[in-house]
Amino acid sequence: MNERIKALCRLTLDGKMYVRPTPVAAVECPENMGRIEREADELCRYIMNQEPLLSEHMAFCGRFNFDGSVVGDAFKRGGHKYTQQALNKYYLKPQENLSTMEWQHATADYRQVLDIGLFGIMEKLKLSYFALEDERRDFSLALHKVAGTIIRWCEGVSRKIREFAKAAGEENRKRLTRLANNLASVPKHGAKDFYQAVLTIYVCFSADPDSVGTLDRYLQPYYDKGIADGTLTREEAKEYLQELFLMLQASTPKESVHFTRGGESHFCVGGYLPNGQDGFTDLSLLIIESMVELPTYIPQVTLRWTEKTPTEVLYKVMDLERQDPHKRIAFTNDEKRIKCYTEICGFPYERAVNYTMVGCNEPAFLGAITGSNSKGNILRCVETLFHKRDEKILAASDFDSFYSLFEEELFSDLQKIFDYDDMYNSERAKDYSYISSLFFEECVYSAKSLTQGGGKTVTASPMLIGVTNLIDSLIVVKQLVYDKKKITMAELIQALKNNWAGYEDTRTLILKTAEFFGNDTDTSSTVSKRVYDSLYRFYYGKKNLFGYPWLVGDLLGYNEHHKWFGEGTLATPDGRYSGQSLKFAIGQSEGKDREGLSALLNDVAGLDKAGIACGSTVTNLYLDKSLIENEGSFRSLVLMLEEYFRQGGVHFQLTYTSKEDLIKAKKDPQSYSGLRVRVTGFSDYFVKLKPSIQDDIIERTVKK
């Protein structure tokens, strides 16, 4: 990292690079102005009045933020009146303990603006204008106006920089003058070199401050050209990338709790290209290296792995991940995802490969919002069975009969979650998004706001919380009630109705002997597969109100949906007490996975053959640090995770320890009876170790 970047880094981490919105006084609009025209007018006036943040250290400039006084970008949704109304009613408020409304991602596609600039986009809008009718005409006109405003604003910023540069020292002046010169030509026109391309993304990020998407693909042609003709060095490219990443960190104000959370501005490198080749290049690697070198929390990056990704690439990226104290790298499997996007969603291959990861770990297509972000309590159907339909399940003579009753409840709840999702979206859809829609090719083409279904390649992925509890509950019923007959159904029902009081032994038997998800036994794998097959049968072919196909996810995001859902859910057969939080994401915890990493990975990789769960799914692996202390072990881990992807795993991210779990395990050995720790040639259950050794291991464990 050079001195200039170091200086910018200090300013960024001090919160001094966040561009504060400049307040703009409201002006009375003429009465005959329509809504679209008025909103666009207010927006343009707002933009023109924004003061740029200038620093002598800069090589890039041109960010602005919204304050909610006008209709801002579609990610933060400031000034989106109807979204605000929906949020007030539903956001983080569980409905029927079944569904909560969540935020929604919106992922710009920078290809168009990089190719033809805002001028080119304005030309396209003009061409289509006469073919449009009424409202769409108005919207098209509004987009045209906003594009022109951004160009004029940049020209103004260019002049301000030129003025500012006069007082700067020679080196800074040269750099700032170059910035001023270039801001006069991009994003107005298409980018001609690597610097201009980065500048274009830097400026346009204001229009949709969510994700820089498939960054290596955007920049590759410029990088290749610059390196080939000698106008760019790898070092310079790194410097520009680092300044771009610092801008992403600075997009969140320091006072926000999100400033130090690594879930913002997620993007991707690698993955399949439209020509079927693996897209990981030297630039992809440079992008990750540049990012990891910065002591920041944001952004985070996912490597899209393909069968064609060389093992050495996976090794290198996992090695960078291992050294990254801020844990900013995740991994996802293109084989599974592309298969899902083409076969289940029906997208053409060239579109299917244009996805990125955003936010916490949500797949998103370039130029599309995520069609759903609501959360569903998938465990509620189990609660209903045991606490309300107990007479029915008492009469179920075998597991298949029980499963049919379960599936009825499951489908009924999934349908309700589905309906809630449409309801949230229809409320949000009353807003227009002007500035963001400019960077969504389909919205420009159709003159339809992205909030109203203007994007094309979009999936809807509700996050089903508690899926591991659900699978574990069914495993307990199959294994201990029907197969081994260790517990009667009547006893289990009574135990749950009494929240395990008086049935402590039953609960102990379950916790110690059930073949929970993650142990890769015949029971754990057949039950988990069966659940995902049910999900597939329910969701396959279904579309949301905008016509987006549905996929399933399981991640949580920032909010405690699992806790709220858990609080309202009575005891369940997996040993969960009434009110206890649900598990989120796919995986296992509390020491219920007793068979080690390969078994857990087998269960995770094998459960969803069809790929219906290629929505926002997360597999967190908490690995003991000693597992990767020597090169041989680390290489084995890389090979193991590579094979996990070959077997069908969709995602993983690593923690080489879980301090919290170890501390909890020490206090509550019963709940963590299967938690294992490893040292060379030896492993044991953590709870069986001497307290002093437990302390030692806790001490050796690195914080998350």
Partner 1 sequence: MKATIFDIQRGSFVDGPGIRTTVFFKGCNLRCKWCHNPEGIDREIKMLFYESKCIGCKKCKSVCKSKACILCGECAIYCPSMAREICGREITPRELFDIIARDKHYYKNGGGATFSGGECLLNPDFLRETLSLCKENGIGTAIDTAGNVPYESIERVMPYTDIFLYDIKCITKELHKAGTGVSNGLILENLKRLKKDFCGRIIIRIPIIGGFNDTEEELRKIKAFLDSLEIEEVELLPYHTLGVHKYEALGIDQTEFSVPSEGQMSAFREIFK
Kind and range of the H or E element at 368?
strand 368-369
Residues 6 or more apart whose Cβ sits within 8 Å of residue 369: 74, 104, 105, 106, 107, 450, 451, 455, 458
Query: Which of 599, 614, 621, 654: binder of partner 1 (CB under 8 A)?
Result: 599
Q: How far is the CB of 534 from partner 1 (least distance, A)?
A: 24
Query: Which of 520, 554, 574, 590: binder of partner 1 (CB under 8 A)?
Result: 520
Kind and range of the H or E element at 224?
helix 215-229
Other C-beta atoms lying within 10 Å of the C-beta of residue 69: 16
Q: Which of residues 653-682 bind partner 1 (CB under 8 A)?
A: 669-670, 673, 678-682
C-alpha 406/C-alpha 404 separation (Å) is 5
Which CA distances in Å does 406 have to 86, 468, 488, 593, 665?
A: 32, 15, 17, 25, 33
Q: How far is the CB of 595 from partner 1 (least distance, A)?
A: 6
Query: Which of 405, 693, 695, 698: binder of partner 1 (CB under 8 A)?
Result: 693
**Binding status of residue 609 toward partner 1 by CB under 8 A:** no
**Binding status of residue 643 toward partner 1 by CB under 8 A:** yes
**Binding status of residue 278 toward partner 1 by CB under 8 A:** no
**Binding status of residue 526 toward partner 1 by CB under 8 A:** no
Query: Which of 688, 700, 702, 704: binder of partner 1 (CB under 8 A)?
Result: 688
Q: Which stretch binds partner 1 (CB under 8 A): 167-175, 242-250, 465-473, 502-510?
A: 502-510
Query: Which of 131, 636, 660, 704: binder of partner 1 (CB under 8 A)?
Result: 636
Nearer to partner 1, 395 or 640 (CB): 640
Nearer to partner 1, 108 or 637 (CB): 637
**Binding status of residue 544 toward partner 1 by CB under 8 A:** no
Q: How far is the CB of 237 from partner 1 (least distance, A)?
A: 34
Nearer to partner 1, 91 or 685 (CB): 685
Residue 621 contacts residue 609 (beta carbons within 8 Å)? no
- The pair phi, psi for residue 683, each rounded to 5°, is -145, 155
Q: How far is the CB of 165 from partner 1 (least distance, A)?
A: 54
Q: How far is the CB of 638 from partner 1 (least distance, A)?
A: 10
**Binding status of residue 683 toward partner 1 by CB under 8 A:** yes
Instruction: Identify which of 360, 451, 537, 470 has the alpha carbon closest to the alpha carbon of residue 86.
Output: 451
Estimate the share of the chain in helix, then strand, then coil, as percent rounded to the nearest 5.
50, 10, 40
Query: Which of 596, 625, 659, 695: binder of partner 1 (CB under 8 A)?
Result: 596
Strands 375-377 and 99-100: antiparallel
**Both tokens assigned to 631:** 């090169």
Nearer to partner 1, 137 or 666 (CB): 666
Q: How far is the CB of 172 from partner 1 (least distance, A)?
A: 48
DSSP state of 341: I
Nearer to partner 1, 311 or 498 (CB): 311
Residue 266 contacts residue 357 (beta carbons within 8 Å)? yes
User: Environment class of residue 201 by beta-carbon count within 10 Å: exposed (0-12), middle (13-18) or buried (19+)?
Assistant: buried
Is the backbone of residue 18 left (phi > 0), alpha (psi -120 to 50) or beta? Answer: beta
Q: How far is the CB of 512 from partner 1 (least distance, A)?
A: 5
Count of residues of this chain found to bind partner 1 when the rule CB under 8 A is applied: 40
Q: How far is the CB of 496 from partner 1 (least distance, A)?
A: 19
**Binding status of residue 395 toward partner 1 by CB under 8 A:** no
Q: How far is the CB of 647 from partner 1 (least distance, A)?
A: 6
**Binding status of residue 505 toward partner 1 by CB under 8 A:** yes
Nearer to partner 1, 491 or 504 (CB): 504
Q: Which stretch binds partner 1 (CB under 8 A): 165-173, 183-191, 198-206, 509-517?
A: 509-517
**Binding status of residue 689 toward partner 1 by CB under 8 A:** yes
DSSP state of 23: P
Nearer to partner 1, 163 or 505 (CB): 505
Kind and range of the H or E element at 331?
strand 329-333
Q: Which residues pair with 685 in a beta bridge?
A: 676
**Binding status of residue 186 toward partner 1 by CB under 8 A:** no
Query: Which of 274, 633, 664, 698: binder of partner 1 (CB under 8 A)?
Result: 633
Nearer to partner 1, 655 or 683 (CB): 683
**Binding status of residue 123 toward partner 1 by CB under 8 A:** no
**Binding status of residue 597 toward partner 1 by CB under 8 A:** yes
Residue 10 contacts residue 254 (beta carbons within 8 Å)? no
**Both tokens assigned to 298:** 């944001």
Residue type, 395: A
Nearer to partner 1, 151 or 481 (CB): 481
Which residue stretches of 130-193 are H helix? 134-166, 170-183
**Binding status of residue 512 toward partner 1 by CB under 8 A:** yes
Query: Which of 210, 595, 608, 661: binder of partner 1 (CB under 8 A)?
Result: 595
Q: Which of residues 6-25 bind partner 1 (CB under 8 A)?
A: none
Q: How far is the CB of 652 from partner 1 (least distance, A)?
A: 14
Query: Which of 508, 534, 559, 655: binder of partner 1 (CB under 8 A)?
Result: 508
**Both tokens assigned to 436:** 């963001």
C-alpha 247/C-alpha 242 separation (Å) is 9
Residue at token pair 């910018």 = 8
Nearer to partner 1, 425 or 519 (CB): 519
DSSP 577-636: PTTPPPP-SSS--TT---S-HHHHHHHHHHS-SS-TT-SS---EEE--GGGGSSHHHHHH
Query: Which of 22, 231, 498, 598: binder of partner 1 (CB under 8 A)?
Result: 598
Residue type, 677: V
Query: Which of 115, 123, 660, 684: binder of partner 1 (CB under 8 A)?
Result: 684
Instruction: Identify which of 104, 100, 86, 87 has the alpha carbon closest to the alpha carbon of residue 567.
Output: 100
C-alpha 590/C-alpha 527 separation (Å) is 20
The residues that touch partner 1, with contacts defined as CB under 8 A, are: 504-505, 508-509, 512-513, 520, 595-599, 601-602, 627, 632-633, 636-637, 639-640, 643, 646-647, 669-670, 673, 678-685, 687-690, 693
